[in-house]
Chains A and B, each alone.
Chain A
């Protein structure tokens, strides 16, 4: 195997101040967790403002890179060739061998960058760069030096061993999950909410999810679909605690007592209330939805304002200003799209009015909700008490 280690580069964490170590430690632990599921064993170390992942035995390269590519906080992954010796001739030989293996055609410009962990090394960094450049040019006359704008930067790092790398695999960016607190996502089974979960997790937020199940109006398959979606998101966000709320009784009660065109709005108000209660129990600091302005009647600014009034927690809406196609693109990338388009009814579409209100006023909604006073407390409590909790892990 050519590569024995990976250098992990992180972007935003680098600019943190005194609490930088918190982010670094979180990232290390995320990396360890992700790699525990990969064939091979690894050593993850934090040194000199960087993270090294070293393979201790034979490992699966693609699987390892794929796992690292799903970790938020990593901006780039550099596969590293390790040379046990620091002796110049050996390094020179290994470097040319490395170039030969990695690049099948070598018609590109390059520069050599050198780092010395070992300051007693007989050559200074600029000397290493110049001398190695010369070695490379002699071996591969088709390569050309460009100091300012090279196609490839070949880095030679000399410490107790020598590290050679030049390939940069882009990571996802963002911040390590868990460093940004915890939030409760309202997961519907549609295209938008899984994307929202992904996006909020990308900013380091740990996510829990709540799904409103309305049997027999929504089927077991719809619930399975939500579990499958959560599992896809869990690949990035880590294990997700999914709360399945039986919403049928509340939904039917609203249907009986309130004007039909307000059904969705009032239903959603109760959804955020329930989500808030569950969120508070688990120490979440906000709710997350997949709402996007104007997408449907309940996602106009007026509707969202009325819905939001039902709870005190902030509601985060990562895709609020996204066009549908932009959301679909992300869904496609994270593998949730094809699950989301499976045709199972969710509880929002079951009873939706032909012409739901698009500009509700809080006064009119509150007036309607008066009709719910008799039984709603009891139904609400029952919904909370009968929540089913499923821990959804990433598939594989």
Chain B
């Protein structure tokens, strides 16, 4: 049996996604900027995807910029607004548990003379809103906060944060990295006071290499990539028609009958946690004394006492169970997870934590199989620990 429980790393594209992408390659392969009919036919896929995405956000079509993925969306959002607003101020606020694609652009900006404040989070990964408000000063131009944390599934109260920020100074731009949140929650940027919102295609059963950035109309932002002036000059480069069409299809599917999909994920999560808690020496991170509904429906972070996560990961892999240690995106380099440190895990726990993440394709059987595998593996692995 196989259990793919690494859906926060990437998801399997919906069948409809590959169908439409194939169509854009075999039939409507034109350049969407071409004047002729082939171009217009290709452009239709973009128009359509833009329409579906705008609708899912209750936003306007012109507020969507297609990017090469979540990383570019985050870079575009942060660097594009920081440079465009640097005369107003050079202070940016973020949290201590952002993804590398937010953290590193901010470090770059820091090297260019911007000042960055990092807000702490509690054991569940919730930010300290008072600390955030206290950090806001006259030259704060941008606040970037992750909607759903990719490692432990912590969810921030974005609406409350947004309204408090705007209540203090409505000119401060509010960026939200929603890469793990979009498709899991209904996100309406206007209602949440969001100016910029990053999304990735392959986390929602779409293709890789595509994402988008929502930019609220009239937001002051510079392009990040220059060239032929596509997408109203905001993102040059011939549009990735297959990617855009595929992502549009994925959005359409994921938001169809959405409450039911969300409930299914929460049921899976609840069930999995219940089963885990029956196993000795396991601790589920980020769910202490808060309702499950205040955490992401698809991520479970578990610390296994006395086990090195990498060893357990590979042992599970032999059983056909695929998971991540920390988060897949940062696992290429051996540095310890920023999120897990930020929520206060000690060094031993940091090295002993695995992430299980679900999708709407995940079944209870897969979870049962995973639990059984853990029950079999844990006692054996614990015998051979490094002393």
A144-152, A218-226, A347-355, A385-393: which one contacts chain B? A218-226
Name the one of A63, A224, A338 contacting B58, with C-beta atoms under 8 angstroms: A63
Which single member of B40, B51, B188, B191 contacts A395 (CB below 8 Å)? B51
For B47-73 the 0/1 string (1 means CB < 8 A from A) is: 000010011001011100000000000
Which of B40, B51, B60, B191 contacts A221, CB < 8 Å?
Answer: B40
Q: Are A219 and B61 in contact (CB under 8 A)?
A: no
Judge whether B40 and A338 touch: CB under 8 Å: no
Contacts of A89 in B (CB 8 A): none
Q: Are B37 and A220 in contact (CB under 8 A)?
A: yes
Residues of chain B with a CB closer than 8 A to A221's CB: 35, 40
How many residues of chain A get a CB closer than 8 Å to chain B's CBs?
Answer: 12
**How many residues from B make CB contacts under 8 Å with A?**
14
Which residues on the B side are within 8 Å of A60 (C-beta)?
58, 188, 191
A62–B60 CA distance with the chains assembled, in angstroms: 14
Contacts of A19 in B (CB 8 A): none
B55, A396: Cβ atoms under 8 Å? yes
Give the dominant DSSP class at B's interface: helix
Tell me whether A62 and B190 are in contact in the complex, defined as CB-CB below 8 angstroms, given that A220-B37, A221-B40, A395-B61 are known contacts.
yes
- Among A104, A220, A338, contact of B62 (Cβ-Cβ < 8 Å): A338
Q: Mark A203-241 against chain B: 1 for CB-CB distance below 8 A, else 0.
A: 000000000000000011100100000000000000000
State the Cβ distance, A58 to closest chain B Cβ, in Å: 12
Residues in B with CB closer than 8 Å to A338 are 62
Whole-angstrom CA separation of A212 from B35 in the bound complex: 19
Q: How far is the CA of A60 from the CA of B190 in the complex (A)?
A: 12
Chain B proximity of A383: nearest CB distance (Å): 22
Contacts of B188 in A (CB 8 A): 60, 62
| Residues in A338-379 with C-beta less than 8 Å from chain B | 338
Task: State the CA gap A82–B119 with chains docked (Å).
Answer: 41
Among A63, A104, A220, the residue within 8 A (CB) of B40 is A220
The distance from the CB of B91 to the nearest CB of chain A, in whole angstroms, is 25
Contacting residue for A62 out of B51, B54, B167, B191, CB 8 A: B191
Expressed in whole angstroms, the minimum distance between the Cβ of A236 and any Cβ of chain B is: 16
Say yes or no: A224-B40 contact (C-beta < 8 A), given A62-B190, A395-B51, A396-B55: yes
Q: Chain B's nearest CB lies how many Å from the CB of A36?
A: 16
A-side contacts of B37, CB under 8 Å: 220
A253 and B325 alpha carbons, distance in the complex (Å): 74
Q: What separation, in Å, do the CA atoms of A104 and B55 have in the docked complex?
A: 32
Indicate with 1 or 0, residue by residue over B180-211, a CB within 8 angstroms of chain A CB atoms: 00000000101100000000000000000000
- 21 CB-based A-B contacts, threshold 8 Å: A60-B58, A60-B188, A60-B191, A62-B58, A62-B188, A62-B190, A62-B191, A63-B58, A104-B167, A219-B35, A220-B37, A220-B40, A221-B35, A221-B40, A224-B40, A335-B60, A338-B62, A395-B51, A395-B61, A396-B54, A396-B55
Closest 9 CB pairs of A and B: A220-B40, A396-B55, A62-B191, A62-B190, A219-B35, A221-B40, A63-B58, A220-B37, A338-B62
